[in-house]
Homo-oligomer: A and B are copies of this chain.
Amino acid sequence: MDWWIQDTMSDFEVHNQLLNDCAVVGDAELCRVLLMNDARFPWLILVPRINGLRDFHEVSNEHRPALFEEIESASLVVKKLIDADKINVAALGNQVPQLHVHVIGRLKSDAAWPGPVWGVGVPAPYQDIERDQRINSVVETMGLSSESRAS
C-alpha cells in the first residue's frame, strides 16, 4: 500500500447508514468490506477507504485496478457461498452519499429474482452464528485484514 492511501485512510470512516445496515468484515487493500445484514442474499458492500468519493467514475486511475480486483474477489466469494447463478454489481448511492459498491450473489429462486434486490420485501437479519460464519468465510477467501472489525 502506498503512503498516499495510508495517509488518506487515516481519518476514513464508513457512513453511519451503512454501519447500521451492515457488519464490518475487514479491509482489502483499497476497500472496507461490509456484509449486508440480510440473510436472503450473500451481499457484500465495498467502500473505498478514501474520503470524498461519491460516484464510481471519481475513483482515480491509480485506484481503479484495486477496485476492480476487489469487485472480482467479492464476486467470487458471493458466487461460491451459494453457487450463485448471477452476480449483481452496482454503485447507486442515492440514499448514502459515500461511494459504495454492492456485490450481490443471486439465485433464480431468490426473493427478488429476476428484479434487483433493493427495496424488495423485508430484510431477514442473520442469526449471530450464521453471520459470523459468513464473515469468517469472506475474511478467509478475500484475505482481508480484520483490524477494522471492532471499529
Chain A residues close to B by CB (< 8 Å): 54-57, 59, 61, 64-65, 68, 71-72, 75-76, 86-95, 106, 113-116, 118-119
Contacts and interface: CB of A to CB of B under 8 A. Distances in A.
A25 to B, nearest CB: 18
Q: Which 5 A-B pairs have the closest CB atoms?
A: A90-B90, A57-B72, A94-B114, A57-B75, A56-B89
A39 to B, nearest CB: 20
Contacts of A118: 115-116
Contact of A94 (B54, B94, B115): B115
A108 to B, nearest CB: 8
A103 to B, nearest CB: 9
A55 B68 contact: no
A100 to B, nearest CB: 12
8 contacts: A54-B86, A55-B89, A57-B68, A64-B64, A68-B68, A89-B92, A90-B91, A94-B113
A56 B119 contact: no
Contacts of A91: 88-90
B119 A87 contact: no
